[in-house]
């Protein structure tokens, strides 16, 4: 059994019925037994072919993919990096890995050599599952670069896997493994604040509890038809309630490769979609585009928005302009997920980010010194509970967890008397670029590797569409150009969304009392500069 939670807490979560014997190895076999011929998954495969799979078909495809993985040498407990766009091969590969009792490491399609190599190193991954070409980028070339440093077995969902193994269903099925429900099920990625992003160990029992409860809170059932346009491996579309919630409840997952309004609206109409999840910039784009696109969206009952703060003005437009209700979702890959509920008063749905899933989610809102703030006042959000991690992979760090095991989210929130949370800001050194998280230090480390860069600070600047964009404030001897630095970062294999949106070159930094770079002062100065630029 894994030691992911203290024994007394684990016993309590079991006794409360939160943690059960269910595991991801048996997830699809169980769903196939319950839902058989019902439609489970709709989408396109790696070849662009339209695919419709029943629960039975999907389970069979995963069972045969597991055979391919097994023949490639993957066994229970192995870590396997999984990097896919929103295609049906992702789901069969993922459940193939689960079936073997192997442990997926979830990469995003945007990740490049820097990130994939890092995941390989810290997870000790044995294999890497990916596609051939996606969005004009050849993942086989990426794999080739990664395996130079890390000896990974690479399987590629493409008829031409080149020197790698083809990821396709094998001839025979492989039966499900029998992992311990309290053991590691997969590794999720943290948005990160320091260095490279840390890996988040989630267990079968803790995660499946959040999946089941999320599905119940969101009222999912066999009639649910959910469109997934956000990157499918992110925690929000994966489990809040996402792909896993829908498949647990017997509904249909429709994978959309393209979140643009024209593509998504067409799918909503043709697939009779009832629910979908977006980050705020996409929700705002959908709102703006609604009058311009002729599509029948009447099947859509609920739009979930999360990953970053949804501006209230936009929230107020959802019902009238998209003709569906809004659900706000405030979650984190480390655990805690909050939802506004269907029967919440409208004002709470529009102005809060919801309340926790579980009655045993412990929430503390504290001041800088760690003392609780009065109810309704902003403070640091700390949390502990039946599906929130107690430490990252590789051990507890005192910065992220307090002595009682509470996770320091880095978010500043207010808690209302109803238990709903309102996100007011952030204390962590992270940029939230429309839901995509960028750890300032990670990008700064890449920048200071440039021979002309003395020091660098990455800060968030407000943006009307993305909420925030990133700006690198660079101290350099012989200032390189912004274009030169962008190229430098790209050549280092950094994902495009982490490359700063703008660069400012300075001769010195404002410092704090203790001599650290004052990001607040940088933001203020930059804010002034931007305001002046806007006026001119």
Catalog residues that contact ligand OOB under the rule CB under 6 A: 191, 235-236, 240, 306-309, 328-333, 337, 353, 409, 411, 423, 426, 432, 437
Residue 449 CB, nearest approach to ligand OOB (Å): 26
Q: 55 to each of 39, 66, 101, 247, 265, how far by Cα in Å?
A: 6, 16, 20, 8, 26
| Choice between 162 and 325, CB closer to ligand OOB | 325
Report the residue number, 261 or 307, with the smaller CB distance to ligand OOB: 307
Q: Which is nearer to ligand OOB, 67 or 197 (CB)?
A: 197
**Least distance from C-beta 410 to ligand OOB, angstroms?**
6
CB of 508 to ligand OOB, least distance (A): 31
Nearest residue (CB) to ligand OOB, 167 versus 279: 279
Closer residue to ligand OOB in complex, CB, 66/246: 246
Q: What does the radius of gyration of the chain's CA atoms come to, in whole angstroms?
A: 23
Whether residue 477 has a cis bond before it, omega within 30° of 0: no
CA-based nearest residue to 341, from 326, 358, 361, 362: 326
Structure tokens at 481: 């150009």
H or E segment at 269?
helix 261-271
Q: 469 has which bridge partners? A: 461
The nearest distance, CB 30 to ligand OOB, in angstroms, is: 24
Give me the residue whose beta carbon is nearest to ligand OOB: 331
Distance CA 410, CA 432 (A): 12
φ/ψ (deg, to 5) at 491: -65, -25
Cβ at position 314, least distance to ligand OOB in Å: 12
Helix ranges (DSSP H) in 72-112:
88-99
Is 454 strand, coil or helix?
strand
Nearer to ligand OOB, 82 or 423 (CB): 423
Strand, helix or coil at 351?
helix
Q: Which is nearer to ligand OOB, 154 or 337 (CB)?
A: 337
Nearer to ligand OOB, 39 or 411 (CB): 411
Largest CA distance in the chain: 68
Half-sphere exposure of 17 (CA within 13 A, CB side): 3
| Shortest reach from residue 236's CB to ligand OOB, in Å | 4
Work out how close the CB of 353 gets to ligand OOB at its nearest, in angstroms, rounded to a whole number. 4
SS3 content of the chain, % helix, strand, coil (to 5): 30, 25, 40
- Residue 290 beta carbon to ligand OOB: minimum distance, rounded to whole angstroms: 22
């Amino acid at each position: 059994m894994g030691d992911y939670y203290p024994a007394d807490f684990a016993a309590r979560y079991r006794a409360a019925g939160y943690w059960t014997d269910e595991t991801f190895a048996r997830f699809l076999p169980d769903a196939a037994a319950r839902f058989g011929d019902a439609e489970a998954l709709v989408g396109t495969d790696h070849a662009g072919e339209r695919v419709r799979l029943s629960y039975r078909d999907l389970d069979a495809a995963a069972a045969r993919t597991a055979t391919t993985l097994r023949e490639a040498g993957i066994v229970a407990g192995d870590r396997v990096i999984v990097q896919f766009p929103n295609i049906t091969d992702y789901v069969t590969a993922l459940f193939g890995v689960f079936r073997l009792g192997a442990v997926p490491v979830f990469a995003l399609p945007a990740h490049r050599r820097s990130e994939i190599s890092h995941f390989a190193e810290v997870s000790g991954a044995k294999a890497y599952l990916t596609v051939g070409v996606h969005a004009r980028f050849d993942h086989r070339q990426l794999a080739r670069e990664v395996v130079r440093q890390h000896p990974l077995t690479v399987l590629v969902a493409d008829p031409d896997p080149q020197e790698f193994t083809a990821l396709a269903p094998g001839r025979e099925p492989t039966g499900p493994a029998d992992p311990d429900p309290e053991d590691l099920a997969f590794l999720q990625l943290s948005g990160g604040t320091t260095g490279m992003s840390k890996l988040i160990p989630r267990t079968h029992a803790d995660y499946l509890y959040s999946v089941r409860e999320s599905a119940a809170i969101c009222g999912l059932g066999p009639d649910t038809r959910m469109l997934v346009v956000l990157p499918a491996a992110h925690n929000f579309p994966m489990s809040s309630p996402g792909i896993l919630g829908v498949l647990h409840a017997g509904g249909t997952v429709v994978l959309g490769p393209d979140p643009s309004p024209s593509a998504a609206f067409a799918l909503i109409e043709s697939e009779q979609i009832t629910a979908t999840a977006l980050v705020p910039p996409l929700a705002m784009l959908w709102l703006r585009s609604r009058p311009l696109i002729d599509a029948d969206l009447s099947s859509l009952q609920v739009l979930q928005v999360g990953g970053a703060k949804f501006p209230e003005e936009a929230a107020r437009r959802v019902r009238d302009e998209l003709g569906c209700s809004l659900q706000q979702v405030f979650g984190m890959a480390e655990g805690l997920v909050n939802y506004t509920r269907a029967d919440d008063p409208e004002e709470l749905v529009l102005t809060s980010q919801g309340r926790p899933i579980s009655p045993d989610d412990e929430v503390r809102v504290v001041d800088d010194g760690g003392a609780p703030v009065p109810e309704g006042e902003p403070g640091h959000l700390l949390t502990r509970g039946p599906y929130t991690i107690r430490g990252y992979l590789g051990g507890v760090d005192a910065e992220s967890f307090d002595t009682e095991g509470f996770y320091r989210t880095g978010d500043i929130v207010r808690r209302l008397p109803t238990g709903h949370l309102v996100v007011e800001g952030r204390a962590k050194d992270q940029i939230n670029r429309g839901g995509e998280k960028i750890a300032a230090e990670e990008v700064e480390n890449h920048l200071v590797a440039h021979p002309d860069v003395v020091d660098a600070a990455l800060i968030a600047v407000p943006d009307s569409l993305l909420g925030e964009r990133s700006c690198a404030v660079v101290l350099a001897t012989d200032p390189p150009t912004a274009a030169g630095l962008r190229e430098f970062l790209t050549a280092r294999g950094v994902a495009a969304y982490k490359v700063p949106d703008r660069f400012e070159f300075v001769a010195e930094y404002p410092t704090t009392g203790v001599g650290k770079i004052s990001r607040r002062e940088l933001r203020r100065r930059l804010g002034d500069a931007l305001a002046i630029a806007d006026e001119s």
